[in-house]
Structure 1
């Protein structure tokens, strides 16, 4: 093993996914020298095994479903999807799992890339062990930002490793359609991958431990998605846990807690995420390896004046767009502290990740899509506020019927009755993913309901659902 002498940078970033890239972009824009360490592909989980490949798989599924709702087009799209073409299109969006373009972008902003495994080696120090055994020691004058994200969490079932189960990575990168697929879980990954692979030709069995799907959203979101999956041919079983799983002569055999035996070609466990902090040297600075890293609103790790944790690793919101938002905040905070200028950490200030606390948007790209921002009714009631939920059928919007025959969807806004502002909005239905940003603006900006009355939706669009919601609230 060879080792270079210590090299000093203003900032060292662990992880070159979208979050790490954005921290580097902001610190470089402020004139700080920045090193980025990555052990896999530059671009991270989102680019190669999550957001981009999953949405590439889902896009033709959703487009076909939408087309089948339109008279005159329905008959033209009755055949099966071309699975090979869909998978090839997915490969295009992952750049065939090559990161040349992302490396070029990182180098273009002036960041220095170190390939290899990065570990903290005490305060402000990172060692990097490269693929050929070479070792670099990097020191940070101002900040180390941990942007290592999360990995799939598998349950502790005996012999599970011998089954070679799918996680989100295999589910988004598989090159063949399994004839039978068991999906374990009821969250975003489970529902999106069940939607995609069922449409591509798999017979999907979805095993959900809880009472319904998408438990973190309003109950009606999971109900509508479950109904659609069932209509598409999936076998959705709620209140069901996996007791054992084995692979016998290539066939996966699942036994549930109800005694059912299910055979499949592959099994996907979408049962949670764990922080990728188990081997990054946290013990050298008095922190627990493998733990989530608690942070303040500038994304600085509690008890440290130089260590930042940005994105999934801090467990505030496990979403790429929220991690990139945090990265912009963290980069600005690091730059301000380096320059010795005051920070604006007030609510909605330039150095405060305020949106993490009540204005987090999310879209689940199933059919129908489910989108939400802010608090659900149950979450809002738990805060002790006086609240009211207003529900409307999205088909009441003139644009819904034009979007497709038999449009099924539901919208809810949760109103703070004392302040008359929105605490949360949930939309479920075809095409609602493109509507959620208007709700995000209303929630984040705390727009009064009286002012929203004057935000006129264009006719005839599905956005007219806003008018229906406000009319229902006014009574």
Structure 2
């Protein structure tokens, strides 16, 4: 091991995923010297094992489903997907798991990259152990930002380690299509990967512990997605938990609490996420290793004046776009504090406070049909004590939806605070609705009065005309 080198920066960022990159971008733009530490690939989970590869796998699935609904085109797309071509295209989206382009971007903004495992080793101090054994101590004059994200959480099941199960990483990077695939879970990763691999040729069995999939969205979202998965040939079993797994040669055997024995070629556990904070030296600054990091709205760790936790690691909203939003807030807050600006007193635009994490978090599930939501569901709004009314519209009644072809199925709901007459939440389910959700996000985040939304005229014939029908239904109720 070489002699330890010490380098001082204004800001040190742990983790070079999209969140860490955005923190570094903002602090560098403010003129602060910035180091970024990464133990794997620059670009992080989203670029190589999550958002980008999963959507590359799903895009041909959804495009084929849309085409099959259009008269004059449906007969031309009845055949199977070219799985090899889909996987090759996915590999291009991940830059074949090479981060040269991302490293060049960091160089372009003037941030210094330190490869290796970074750990907190004291106040405003990070020690990096490089792959060659070199040790560097990075000191931060103003802030350290923890942007290390999450990893897949695996249950404590007998035989699991020997089986070598898939997690989201293996599900998005596999180089061959398994003949049979069990997917354990009912959340976003579970339904997206079940959708993708069933279409690519696997026989998928989805095992859901609860009553249905997508439990955090409106009930009709899970119902429509489940219906579509079954029509595609997947088997969906709800109220079912895996109790043990074994591998018998090339075959994985899953035992369930219902007494079933299910054989498969691979098994994917999509059963939640846990923070990547177990090996960060949190104990050196009085925090618990392996814990989620609690933060204020400027993303500063509770009780600290210099430590920030940004993105999934703070457990506020485990979504890439929310993490990048938080990163922009955190970068601005770090820069303001470094310049001595009292940020809460001189922040009329809210540039230093992550308020969207509380009430206006949007999400799209890229299944067929797509499910998209922002804000509170009806159940969440009622549980929070709001006086609300839910307004529902069958999307197949919208003229723009008919252009998608025969058999369009979808539903829309807006949850209205009837005291203030603003929207608390909106959910769309149906082909193509992912592109609708930003209009709903603006309405929810901006607390736009219902009376004013009436004058936001949707173009005809587009699916966005659902807004007119929702507002008419609310007015006429």
TM-score interval (norm. to shorter): over 0.9
Post-superposition offset of 1:145 = 0.1
Query: What does residue 102 of structure 2 align with?
Result: 102
- Residue deviations 1:88-112 (CA, integer Å, cap 9, x gap): 0000000000000000001100000
- Superposition CA RMSD, Å: 0.8
The separation in 2 between residues aligned to 1:75 and 1:159, in whole angstroms, is 46
Q: Is 2:455 the counterpart of 1:457?
A: no
1:234-313 mapped onto 2 (5 Å cutoff): 234-313=234-313
- Residue deviations 1:261-315 (CA, integer Å, cap 9, x gap): 1100000000000000000000001100000000000000001000000000000
Query: What does residue 176 of structure 1 align with?
Result: 176
Contact 1:311 1:327 in 2 (8 A): yes
- Residue deviations 1:58-116 (CA, integer Å, cap 9, x gap): 00000000000000000110100000000000000000000000000011000000000
Query: What does residue 364 of structure 2 align with?
Result: 363
1:381-396 mapped onto 2 (5 Å cutoff): 381-396=382-397
The separation in 2 between residues aligned to 1:172 and 1:389, in whole angstroms, is 37
The separation in 2 between residues aligned to 1:3 and 1:142, in whole angstroms, is 26
The secondary structure found in structure 2 opposite 1:422 is strand
Query: What does residue 79 of structure 1 align with?
Result: 79
Query: What does residue 89 of structure 1 align with?
Result: 89
The secondary structure found in structure 2 opposite 1:435 is helix
Post-superposition offset of 1:353 = 0.2
Post-superposition offset of 1:57 = 0.1
- Residue deviations 1:380-421 (CA, integer Å, cap 9, x gap): 011111101000101121100012211100000000001100
Contact 1:413 1:426 in 2 (8 A): yes
The separation in 2 between residues aligned to 1:404 and 1:236, in whole angstroms, is 27
Q: Is 2:17 the counterpart of 1:13?
A: no
Query: What does residue 163 of structure 1 align with?
Result: 163
The separation in 2 between residues aligned to 1:105 and 1:5, in whole angstroms, is 25
1:201-216 mapped onto 2 (5 Å cutoff): 201-216=201-216
The secondary structure found in structure 2 opposite 1:243 is strand
The separation in 2 between residues aligned to 1:344 and 1:397, in whole angstroms, is 45
Q: TM-score under structure 1 normalisation?
A: 0.99
The separation in 2 between residues aligned to 1:465 and 1:94, in whole angstroms, is 36
Query: What does residue 141 of structure 2 align with?
Result: 141
Post-superposition offset of 1:250 = 1.2
- Residue deviations 1:145-170 (CA, integer Å, cap 9, x gap): 00000000000001201001000000
The separation in 2 between residues aligned to 1:371 and 1:348, in whole angstroms, is 27
The separation in 2 between residues aligned to 1:313 and 1:174, in whole angstroms, is 26
Query: What does residue 439 of structure 1 align with?
Result: 440
The separation in 2 between residues aligned to 1:142 and 1:397, in whole angstroms, is 54
The secondary structure found in structure 2 opposite 1:405 is coil
The secondary structure found in structure 1 opposite 2:372 is strand
Change over 3 Å in CA distance of 1:348–1:243 after alignment to 2: farther
The separation in 1 between residues aligned to 2:47 and 2:249, in whole angstroms, is 34
Contact 1:348 1:355 in 2 (8 A): no
The secondary structure found in structure 1 opposite 2:41 is coil
The separation in 1 between residues aligned to 2:132 and 2:267, in whole angstroms, is 35
- Residue deviations 1:231-265 (CA, integer Å, cap 9, x gap): 10000000000011111011000111000111000
1:328-367 mapped onto 2 (5 Å cutoff): 328-344=328-344, 349-367=350-368
Q: Is 2:329 the counterpart of 1:326?
A: no
Query: What does residue 47 of structure 2 align with?
Result: 47
Post-superposition offset of 1:342 = 2.2
Query: What does residue 427 of structure 1 align with?
Result: 428
- Residue deviations 1:127-159 (CA, integer Å, cap 9, x gap): 000001000000000000000000000000012
Change over 3 Å in CA distance of 1:52–1:190 after alignment to 2: same
Post-superposition offset of 1:6 = 1.4
Post-superposition offset of 1:349 = 1.0
The secondary structure found in structure 1 opposite 2:403 is helix
- Residue deviations 1:153-192 (CA, integer Å, cap 9, x gap): 0000012010010000000000000000000000000000
Change over 3 Å in CA distance of 1:348–1:444 after alignment to 2: farther
Change over 3 Å in CA distance of 1:412–1:439 after alignment to 2: same
**Structure 1 residues not aligned, in runs of 5+:** none
Query: What does residue 475 of structure 2 align with?
Result: 474
Q: TM-score under structure 2 normalisation?
A: 0.99
**Structure 2 residues not aligned, in runs of 5+:** none
Query: What does residue 57 of structure 1 align with?
Result: 57
Count of residues in Structure 1 that have an aligned counterpart in Structure 2: 475
Post-superposition offset of 1:347 = 8.7
Query: What does residue 28 of structure 1 align with?
Result: 28
The separation in 2 between residues aligned to 1:201 and 1:350, in whole angstroms, is 47
